[in-house]
Structure formats: C-alpha cells, structure tokens
Amino acid sequence: MQEVEQTTTLNPQIKEAAIKHVKNKFIQAGDSDLIRVLKKESFKHIYKKMIVDPDDFMERPRPADIEPWGGQKPGGPRDFLKSKVVLPSLPQVLLEIQKVIKNPDSSADDLAAVINKDPKLVAAILRLANSAMFSFSSEVETTSRAVALLGFRQASSLALGTVSLSLFKRTAGTSILQIEKLWKHSIACGVIAQEIATSAGHNDVERFFVAGMLHDIGLYVVFEGDRSLAMELYEYASRDGHSFYDAEMEFLGFDHATLGGVIIKDWSFPQSLVAAIDGHHNPARDQNGPDAAIVHVADFVAQALGYDLGISSVIGRIDDEALEKIGLSTDRYAAILPNVQKLIDEIFEILNQT
C-alpha cells in the first residue's frame, strides 16, 4: 500500500478512508507476501470506487417489508432445502456442454449444436463474437461460425457461464443480496479460478470456471429462501469484523458452501464440482483434487479485487494449506491479476445483456 501512497497524488481524506476500509477488510487475513500484494490491489480499487461510487460504502437501510427473524435454526442443509424450495430445475444444457467439452472427439459443430438448443446462449455467443473484445472482419451471424472464430475453449466457457448465471435471477430476495454483485463475483471467481488452474498446470480448466461461477449457489438459496434470516446474517456480518461465514456458523451452524454442495450433488453434477463448492470455505474437506483449494483462493482474490458481494466488510481468512496445495508463488498470482480484471468486466457486460 505504501508504494501506491508514495507514487500517486491522492486526496488525503479519501486515502485515509480507503486505508481504513482495506485494513478492516483484511482483518482476519493475516500477513504474507500474497496478502500484501492483494492489499495493494484492494487499496487501488477501493480508492477509485470511493471517488466514483461513494454510495456503495454507505450502510443500506433494512428493507421495510422484511419481518424480524424468528430465531428458528434449521436442522441442517437438507432441512433448510426441504422447507425452502427456491431453485429452478437442473440445467440440463450445462451437463450437455460439459459432456461435449470432456469428449476428446468433440468438434466445434458438436458444441454449436448444443448451444443452438438455447436461444439465450446463441445470443450471448453471437454478442461476444461481435464485441470489441474481438475484431473479426465481418459480422458473425451463426453459432458455428462464432465457435470456430472464438475457439472451442472460449466459446464453451462463455456458454457455461451464461447457463450458470441464468440460475441467479433478479427476485425479491435480491433486495439484500444485490444480484449484479453476485453475478460479478461469480464471474470473477470463475475467471480467476480458471487462470490459477492454468497457471498451476492443470488440464480440463473449464471445470474450475464452472465451479467459480456456481460456488455461491448456496448463498443465493439462503437469501432467496429466508429473507428474515438473510437479513439477520447480513446485519451480523456488517458489525465488528465478522465475515458472512462467521454469521452463518453463529446462526445456522452450517455455511452456504455446505448447502451449495448438497444442491449440486442432488443435481448429479460431477464429484469435482460438488467438492469444489462444498469446500470453498473449508478446502481441507476436499481430500482429492485441488478444486476446493483453487475456488477458495479465487473467491478470496475476487473479493480483494473489489468483486465482493457487499454483504460483509470482512473478506475472511485465506487457507494456508490451500495455497500450499496449489503451489503457486506470489509472483505467479501477481501476474494473473492485471489480465483477469479486464476479462471479468468484459464477460459481465456481455452476459448482463443476455
């Protein structure tokens, strides 16, 4: 943070407020080279945001139509899901896209055929292909042409992202959890998870993108399912250096990650995706692959870069064992940061119009 302070002329009041904000945000995070790098990035973002969007730092008033929470703890994630049915049915198209990606014999035409089944997906793919992100010489009018031009990987990631985000709808529950923030956070976590996995030399990196996109599905269900409880959690997490995870453990006895794991398992998604979502706040729960560890770190980095959910002033902790399991140096993380921010904003802009 010192470098930023020394090399730029900053407004002293805003600088002071931003430093205080960063300090509080990282209060549980400890100290390491990586944390120092992330704090610096976080400061830059918060300082800028305090200038362009100061309202985002004001405490939001409690929506008038939310009843006080009755204090009735659910017996566990299953119990919670049984009493609050808020999710749409299994997104079959997501599984179909994953199947095409996994099959080494799949062609661009196979992917285009799956995408063509869903008009929203077709629109997203064509919008991306015709966006400023690419400068193709002529207008791209068909899915198969778009897949050919974008490349199989880029097109499949975008298709998976579109389907995942379509699960998070704008509804009454989102008066506390702002849907735009959830979308941005999910895209950020997906993009960063995929970058970390690529940098760490893993194959099949699209699965990390999907895991990042869907990692907070349990959180969405909490907010949709019980607004009074969600408000209670939100208010607790807004006070005294508590993270949202702390609030959940205090009031629920389980967290949204466990809840999300149950949902994804019920949908018969691959085990690696269940493990990533279930373990994204406790990565040691994933004994097998690096999935939970990578999503955990990506979630933290996303929040540090300003793609947070706005439901807590504290990020939480970063798990040392997860960092060890991933095995990247701080320099490798630092190298990822500049590229991901542009990519996240571009993907958001495109998907937001769909």
Alpha-carbon distance of 57 to 35, in angstroms, equals 22
- Which range in 16-24, 189-197, 208-216, 345-353 contacts Fe ion by CB under 5 A? 208-216
Nearer to Fe ion, 189 or 350 (CB): 189
Residue 226 within binding range of Fe ion, rule CB under 5 A: no
Q: State which residue, 216 or 226, has the beta carbon closest to Fe ion.
A: 216
Stretch that binds Fe ion, among 120-128, 165-173, 180-188, 210-218 (CB under 5 A): 210-218
Q: Six-digit token pair at 206? A: 């699209």
Amino acid identity of residue 270, one-letter, is P
CB of 245 to Fe ion, least distance (A): 7
Question: How far apart are the C-alpha atoms of 18 and 49, rounded to whole Å?
Answer: 9
Q: Which stretch binds Fe ion (CB under 5 A): 40-48, 83-91, 211-219, 234-242?
A: 211-219
- Considering the complex, state which of residue 199 and residue 282 has its C-beta at the smaller distance from Fe ion: 282
Interface with Fe ion (CB under 5 A), residue total 1
Which CB atom, from 216 or from 232, has the smaller least distance to Fe ion? 216
Sign of CA dihedral 20, 25, 27, 31: negative
Enumerate residues 88-117 that contact Fe ion by CB under 5 A.
none
Other C-beta atoms within 10 Å of 302: how many? 27
Contact status, residue 134 vs residue 165, Cβ threshold 8 Å: no
CA distance 185 to 46: 16
CB of 299 to Fe ion, least distance (A): 6
At closest approach, how far in Å is the CB of 210 from Fe ion?
15
End-to-end CA distance of the chain: 38
Nearer to Fe ion, 118 or 248 (CB): 248
When the beta carbons of 100 and 217 are compared against Fe ion, the nearer one is: 217
By the 8 A CB rule, do 207 and 270 touch?
yes
SS3 content of the chain, % helix, strand, coil (to 5): 65, 0, 35
d(CA 121, CA 143): 9
SS3 37: helix
CB 160, CB 97: distance < 8 Å = yes
Report the 10 Å Cβ neighbour count for 313. 20
Furthest C-alpha separation in the chain: 60
Least distance in angstroms from the C-beta of 328 to Fe ion: 21
Minimal distance, residue 6 CB to Fe ion, in Å? 35
Candidates 7-15, 61-69, 209-217, 265-273 — which segment interacts with Fe ion by CB under 5 A? 209-217
Q: Which span sits near Fe ion by CB under 5 A: 18-26, 150-158, 215-223, 335-343?
A: 215-223
- Residue 115 Cβ, how far from Fe ion at the closest point, in Å? 29
| Rounded CA separation 190/208 (Å) | 6
* Residue closer to Fe ion, measured from CB, 41 or 216: 216
Binding mask of the shown chain, residues 153 to 192, with x at each position contacting Fe ion by CB under 5 A = ----------------------------------------
Pick 47 or 220: Cβ nearer Fe ion = 220
> Binding residue for Fe ion (CB under 5 A) from 41, 206, 216, 246?
216
* Binding window for Fe ion (CB under 5 A); candidates: 4-12, 23-31, 197-205, 216-224: 216-224
Rounded to the nearest 5°, which phi and psi values hold at 299? -60, -45
Which residues, other chains included, contact 13 with Cβ-Cβ below 8 Å and sequence gap of 6+?
Answer: none
Binding site for Fe ion (CB under 5 A): 216
